[in-house]
Amino acid sequence: MSTLLTSLWRGYCATSLILRVSIALVLGVVVGLVGGPVVAEWLAPLGELLMRLLKFIILPIVLFTLMSGVNQGAAGSLGRVGRKVFVYYLATSALAIAVGLAVATLLAPGEGMSLQGVDAISVPDNPGILSVVLGIVPNNMVAAFAEQDLLGIIFVALVFGLAVMKMRQSDSQAALGERLHGLIEALNAATLRVMDGILHVVPIGVFAIVVGTVADQGLATLLSLGDMVVVLYLALGAQLLVYLGLLKGFGVPVGAFFREARTPTATAFATQSSSGTLPLTLDAASRLGLPRSIYGFSLPLGATLNMDGAAIRIAISAVFAANVMGAPLDWLSMLQIVVVGTLISVGTAGVPGAGIVMIATVFSQVGLPIEAVALLTAIDALVGMGCTALNVTGDLVGTAVIGRSEERRAASQAAGAPGQARHR
């Protein structure tokens, strides 16, 4: 019996991760529909185990990857990459809202529905952009680690990573700095070893989580607001085409990119957690051969700030609510949604129920009924799955594009160096 179990485990481990995750997704849907809440309750501990393991590895993988990445380049390059990352995240969020508005305006979800019988919903306050910016600097480093505050962890990693870099560059502390750098590299390697073990649990946990999600939602919810769900997923597909154009435009191999991006995307789809999927996203970036100095910064930041899927959800929810009211949006309202929605997508970073906060805030800005949010919460899980998957994909696309732009810059400088020498 033990020999059989050993053989099965070896066969399981030898199978590609994406195939295991894909099978887990399909089986999860089937078992969730057939088994219902009872089976979902039995399997729930397996899903909880996966989320605990992913959260367990987030702190060391972000901390050591970013500290190691900072020491791969110069401080000046970090500032340049940081500017590119922020511009990319803002631009794609605005574009995602525009794509969502275009698709929803064309297909008009919500026509013929009404708000009768819908209860009001309590929405958390929007903290605003200033609060998020101030929150980057933690009051207490230990508290930031304990609460898994990604922005705070990024700040700590950047500060101490730069400090180690300066030590290595100084005459008096170079030896000490090199020893610290070697320790960071060793801890990073150990963290990746632990990550390899966690990857074997991912398909099992994904299966359990999908069973629970499908059992909770059921077919009735999907059918009642099916047009909204279909329109949202069509808009997500349109945004994927935008990503495809970006990858091709910057010369990133599309086949290789999506081959490595499949696992974190599928896991994000099942777990509905960008930050929870972060270890897998970092692993995918490493397999793509992207520089640690870029993905160690861009991906943790993107898991908190970059929400292209949520931006599309804002746009489609706004059109849906306007159609339910019987007053379709005009061009001025759409422009306002693009501007406000882009800023709100940053201003709600890290807030529990951030998607609902974004939608409610935009609704209040453009005069749409907050009560419509209650309708949308019924399909929160169904739309959240696709939106989270797109969020993670957008983070990886931005990292790959910025990585390629940095490669071109380095190649251009190398090509121009001999000519500059002759000119002198």
Q: Dump pLDDT digits (tens) for 399-424.
A: 999 999 988 888 887 776 555 544 43
Q: What's the confidence (pLDDT) of residue 112?
A: 63
Q: In one letter, which amino acid is 198? A: I
> How many structural domains is the chain composed of?
1
3-state secondary structure of 125: coil
Q: What is the pLDDT of residue 72?
A: 77
- With respect to residue 372, please indicate whether it lies within any of the assigned structural domains: yes
The token pair that represents 32 in the structure block: 């969730």
151 in any annotated domain = yes
Give the global pTM: 0.81
Give the pLDDT confidence of 221-238 residue by residue, as tens digits. Answer: 566 567 788 899 999 999
Is 423 within a domain? no
Query: Rounded distance, CA 205 to CA 168, Å?
Result: 42
Domain assignment present for residue 421? The answer is no
Q: Does 8 map to a domain?
A: no
The answer to whether residue 38 scores a pLDDT higher than 80 is: yes
pLDDT tens digits along 171-218: 889 999 999 999 999 998 999 889 888 888 899 998 998 888 888 766
Is residue 10 domain-resident? Answer: no
pLDDT, mean over the chain: 82
Identity at 147, one-letter amino acid code: E
Per-residue pLDDT tens for 67-90? 888 887 665 677 788 889 989 998
Q: What is the CATH number of the domain that holds 131?
A: 1.10.3860.10
User: Is 356 a member of any domain?
Assistant: yes
In this structure, are residues 372 and 324 in contact, taking their beta carbons and an 8 Å threshold? yes
Task: Put residue 148 in one of left, alpha, beta given phi > 0 → left and psi -120 to 50 → alpha.
Answer: left
Residue 359 lies in a domain: yes
| 306 in Cβ contact with 398 (< 8 Å) | yes
- Range of the structural domain that residue 385 is part of: 16-408
Instruction: Report CA 140 to chain centroid distance, whole Å.
Output: 26
